[in-house]
Copies of this chain bind each other. A is one copy, B any other.
Amino acid sequence: MTDKPTLSTSLSPALLHLYDLSNSVVVIIDVFRATSTIASALYNGAKSVIPVDSVPKAIEISKSIDGIAAGERDGMIADGLQHGNSPLEYTREFIEGKTLVLTTTNGTRLLHMALEKNADTIISGSFPNISAVCDFLLKEKKNVVLGCAGWKDRFNLEDTLFAGSVISRIKKEFTIHCDSSVMAEAMHASHKNNIMDFAPKLTHYHRLVERFGLIDDIKYCLTDDVANVLPLYKEGKLIVG
Interface string of A1-41 (1 = CB under 8 A from B): 00000000001101100100000000000000000000000
This protein's copies in its complex: 2
Contact of A155 among B177, B179, B187 (CB under 8 A): B179
Beta-carbon contact of A182 and B154 below 8 Å:
no
Beta-carbon contact of B186 and A154 below 8 Å:
no
Most chain B beta carbons < 10 A, residue from A156, A183, A202: A183
Q: Measured between alpha carbons, how far is A115 from B225 in the docked complex, in Å?
A: 47
Interface of A is mostly: helix
Beta-carbon contact of A183 and B203 below 8 Å:
no
Q: Measured between alpha carbons, how far is A182 from B154 in the docked complex, in Å?
A: 13
Q: Which residue on chain B has the smallest CB distance to residue A202?
A: B179
Contact of A190 among B179, B186, B206 (CB under 8 A): B186
Q: Which residue on chain B has the smallest CB distance to residue A160?
A: B183
Q: How far is the CB of A137 from chain B (nearest CB, A)?
A: 21
